[in-house]
Amino acid sequence: MTEDVNIHVHGHAGHLSLNRPKALHALTLDMCHAISAALTDWADDEAVQAIILDHAEGRGFCAGGDINLLRNSALNDGGKSGREFFHDEYQLNHQMFEYEKPIVAFMDGITMGGGVGIAMPCKYRVATENTRFAMPETGIGLFPDVGGGWHLSRLGGRLGQFLALTGARLDGAECVWAGIATHYLDPADLAEAKSRIAAGHEPGQVLSALAKTPPAARLESNEAAIKKHFASDRYEDILASLEADDSEWAAKELATLRTKSPQTCKVALRQLKESEQLDSFADNMRMEYRIASRVLTRPDFSEGVRAVIVDKTNDPKWDPATPEGVSEELLDQIFAPLPADEEWRPL
Instruction: Give the domains, in start order, of the chain with CATH numbers.
Output: 5-342 (3.90.226.10)
Does pLDDT of 82 surpass 90? yes
CB of 74 closer than 8 Å to CB of 296: yes
User: Phi and psi (nearest 5°) for 239?
Assistant: -60, -45
**β-bridge mates for residue 292, sequence order:** none
> What pLDDT is attached to residue 136?
96
**β-bridge mates for residue 184, sequence order:** 127
Q: How many CB atoms lie within 10 A of CB 328?
A: 9
> What pLDDT is attached to residue 129?
98
Q: Which of 283, 280, 291, 284 is nearest to 335 (CA)?
A: 291
For range 314-340, the mean pLDDT? 97
> What pLDDT is attached to residue 76?
95
d(CA 42, CA 96): 12
For range 149-175, the mean pLDDT? 98
Residue type present at position 132: R
When pLDDT is cut at 50, 70 and 90, the band that residue 57 belongs to is confident
pTM: 0.97
When pLDDT is cut at 50, 70 and 90, the band that residue 59 belongs to is confident
Active site (catalytic) residues = 65, 114, 137, 145
Does pLDDT of 309 surpass 70? yes
> What pLDDT is attached to residue 1?
62
Q: What is the mean pLDDT of the chain?
A: 97
Does pLDDT of 88 surpass 90? yes
> What pLDDT is attached to residue 252?
98
> What pLDDT is attached to residue 36?
98
For range 259-270, the mean pLDDT? 98
Residue 65: DSSP 8-state:
B
Portion of the chain with pLDDT greater than 90, in percent: 97
Q: What is the arrangement of strands in the sheet containing 61-62, beginning at the earlier edge strand?
A: 61-62, 110-112, 132-134, 170-171
Does pLDDT of 208 surpass 90? yes
Beta-carbon contacts of residue 300 (< 8 Å; ≥ 6 apart): 141, 261, 263, 264, 316, 318, 319
> What pLDDT is attached to residue 58?
79
> What pLDDT is attached to residue 117?
98
CA distances from 337 to 55, 342, 343 (A): 36, 9, 8
> What pLDDT is attached to residue 2?
80
For range 58-76, the mean pLDDT? 91
**β-bridge mates for residue 105, sequence order:** 53, 125
For range 306-318, the mean pLDDT? 95
Q: What is the arrangement of strands in the sheet containing 5-10, beginning at the earlier edge strand?
A: 5-10, 13-18, 50-55, 103-107, 124-127, 183-184
Beta-carbon contacts of residue 162 (< 8 Å; ≥ 6 apart): 168, 226, 230
Does pLDDT of 132 surpass 80? yes
Query: DSSP H helical segments within the chain, as ranges?
Result: 29-43, 67-76, 80-98, 114-119, 148-153, 159-166, 172-178, 190-198, 203-210, 223-229, 235-243, 248-258, 262-276, 281-295, 299-305, 328-335
3-state secondary structure of 12: coil
3-state secondary structure of 20: coil
